[in-house]
């Protein structure tokens, strides 16, 4: 099909009309309209943009996930899924118009050349990037580049008066799709998958082996806020839990015959308790894994109803590097449930507002607010429990959204980046002292307490931007979560994301419910 479309695109206009277009063909109308505007319109037009807008206009009248991407958008969208990009290899954030290195990527080109956490990159190839209000995207463009090319960095390092200069040879930088792997309790492992990309299965297997070596017998698989990714990555992940020939997912469409994806057996975690965490932003490939584990009664799904993105897109590459992602089929779970939630063709706004509708209806606070028609009833394949199709995966154990945990005051501080900026400054000023005082994360976790001076600084910065708690009660309600968040952010900057989630998860209601279920 793709080859036929591409061959059609390469035909001359006259050949297209003779082979494909009759005098009344809709495509003939479209071609005449484009030619008329381009050649006769009173003002000059951008023909490329005209065609792109026409493609977008067609796709906007279809489902919410068919889309057109420019060549630049294709590259940006593919990088996190491909598992790598080419650059210098640093995690960074912007503090007061200056790029602050949070951590160099382990084994990456910057670490090899001596870049350390806390360094400030002030120039790239003799062009100042600090204090000039350069956009973050522009800074990233200057730092990234083809493997093997060199970039000259000007570095300001605490305690050294002069600007240091490093010549970094760019290389492939891995993009991890697994956010965290650690033992959350004795014999209970925790793995959080952020997305499903080309390297996710290999990362996941490495995480499983690491945890099994540490004595893991049960697993919490966290797919909260996982927006999906590659189908084949999801299939391989599910395969690690299921038995040989178990159906994982199948796809089917108007012009696409049913295609089954089945487990090969011999998975790394075919035995042992499994709990999968989901929420309203768990989508697509993450829903495939959740649905397969639930339908085979392999584990328990905990959280809130998932997003309901069950449309299969086929990429159609265009000659200039742009792409059409066209929906060609639906995903179905092993019990026959359609993952895709209902939508009205062309009504993008209503679809985008679905989360708001869920909040207003009370669905995020109460499982009783979710209503399914009897016609959507299905049954799990081993225990024959009732499950429902018609949009997303409904968890076995519902965990309500705690709207009181995040006060309005906290949300405003976070939105203005006051919390993250204060944290970065604190770690930058106290990094050596903290490393010396807390040799291990276990020691830090047990003994470290967020200093009141850091809290006072955040409150004062908020007041400068007219962000204040409405009363002392709101301030006191904000402090427990704020302190935990700050402690987790400091741990992240001193160590990594495993340590961040090890602290934050103790306040995550779905994680806590999963641990209760593990104990029972």
Alpha helices in 109-227 (DSSP H): 109-112, 136-143, 200-213
Residue 170: CB atoms within 10 A of its CB come to: 22
Residue 98: CB atoms within 10 A of its CB come to: 15
- The closest alpha carbon to 311, from 194, 228, 235, 378, belongs to 228
Cβ contact 108:144 at 8 Å: no
Annotated active-site residue in 195, 284, 322, 510? 284
Q: Is 179 a catalytic residue?
A: no
d(CA 268, CA 158): 46
Q: Is 320 a catalytic residue?
A: no
Annotated active-site residue in 177, 309, 322, 493? 309
Cβ contact 53:340 at 8 Å: no
* Three-state secondary structure call for residue 351: helix
- Cα 368 to its chain centre, rounded Å, is 29
Distances (CA, A) of 144 to 86, 125, 166, 168, 172: 6, 12, 15, 11, 10
Exposed, middle or buried by CB within 10 Å (0-12, 13-18, 19+), for 135? exposed
| Torsion angle (degrees, nearest 10) of CA 349, 355, 361, 367 | 150
Q: Is 510 a catalytic residue?
A: no
3-state per-residue secondary structure call for 247-316: EEEEEECCCCCCEEEECCCCCCCCCCEEEEEECCCCCCHHHHHHHHHHHCCCCEEEECCCCCCCEEEEEE
d(CA 418, CA 414): 6
d(CA 394, CA 397): 9
Please give the backbone phi and psi of residue 440, each rounded to the nearest 5 degrees, phi first. -130, 160
Length of the chain counted residue by residue: 520
The tokens for 343 are 């939508």
Annotated active-site residue in 295, 428, 493, 498? 295
- Residues tagged active-site: 284, 295, 309
């Amino acid at each position: 099909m793709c080859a036929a479309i591409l061959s059609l695109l390469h035909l001359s206009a006259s050949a297209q009309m003779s082979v494909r277009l009759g005098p009344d063909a809709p495509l003939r109308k479209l071609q005449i309209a484009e030619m008329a505007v381009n050649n006769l319109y009173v003002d000059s037009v951008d023909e490329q943009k005209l065609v792109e807008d026409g493609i977008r206009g067609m796709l906007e009248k279809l489902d919410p996930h068919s889309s057109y991407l420019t060549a630049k958008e294709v590259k940006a969208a593919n990088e996190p899924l491909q598992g790598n990009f080419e650059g210098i290899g640093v995690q960074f954030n912007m503090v007061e118009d200056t790029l602050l290195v949070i951590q160099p990527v382990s084994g990456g080109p910057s670490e090899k050349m001596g870049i350390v956490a806390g360094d400030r990159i002030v120039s790239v190839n003799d062009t100042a990037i600090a204090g000039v209000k350069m956009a973050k995207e522009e800074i990233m463009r200057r730092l990234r580049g083809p493997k093997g090319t060199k970039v000259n960095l000007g570095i300001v390092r605490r305690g050294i008066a002069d600007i240091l200069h490093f010549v970094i040879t760019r290389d492939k930088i891995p993009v991890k799709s697994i956010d965290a792997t650690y033992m959350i309790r004795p014999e209970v492992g925790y793995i959080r998958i952020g997305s499903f990309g080309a390297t996710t299965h290999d990362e996941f297997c490495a995480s499983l082996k690491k945890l099994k070596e540490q004595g893991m017998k049960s697993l919490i698989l966290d797919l909260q806020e996982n927006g999906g990714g590659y189908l084949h990555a999801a299939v391989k992940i599910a395969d690690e839990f299921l038995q040989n020939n178990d159906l994982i997912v199948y796809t089917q469409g108007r012009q696409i015959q049913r295609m089954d994806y089945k487990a090969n057996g011999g998975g790394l975690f075919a035995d042992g308790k499994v709990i999968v965490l989901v929420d309203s932003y768990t989508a697509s490939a993450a829903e495939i894994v959740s649905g397969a584990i639930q339908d085979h009664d392999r584990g328990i799904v905990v959280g809130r109803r998932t997003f309901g993105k069950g449309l299969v897109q086929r990429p159609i590459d265009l000659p200039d590097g742009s792409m059409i992602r066209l929906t060609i089929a639906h995903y179905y779970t092993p019990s026959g449930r359609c993952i895709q939630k209902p939508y009205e063709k062309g009504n993008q706004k209503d679809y985008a507002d679905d989360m708001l509708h869920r909040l207003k209806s009370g669905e995020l606070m109460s499982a009783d607010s979710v209503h399914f028609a009897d016609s959507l009833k299905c049954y799990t394949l081993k225990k024959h429990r009732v499950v429902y199709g018609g949009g997303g995966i409904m968890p076995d154990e519902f965990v309500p959204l705690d709207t009181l945990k995040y006060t309005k005051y906290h949300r405003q501080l976070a939105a203005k980046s006051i919390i993250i900026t204060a944290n970065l400054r604190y770690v930058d000023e106290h990094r050596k002292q903290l490393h010396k005082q807390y040799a291990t994360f276990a020691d830090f976790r047990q003994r470290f307490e967020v200093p009141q001076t850091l809290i006072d600084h955040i409150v004062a910065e908020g007041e400068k931007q007219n962000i204040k708690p409405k009363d002392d009660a709101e301030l006191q309600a904000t402090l427990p979560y704020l302190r935990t968040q700050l402690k987790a952010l400091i741990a992240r900057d001193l160590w990594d994301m495993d340590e961040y989630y090890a602290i934050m998860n103790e306040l995550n209601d779905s994680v806590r419910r999963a641990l209760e279920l593990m104990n029972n």
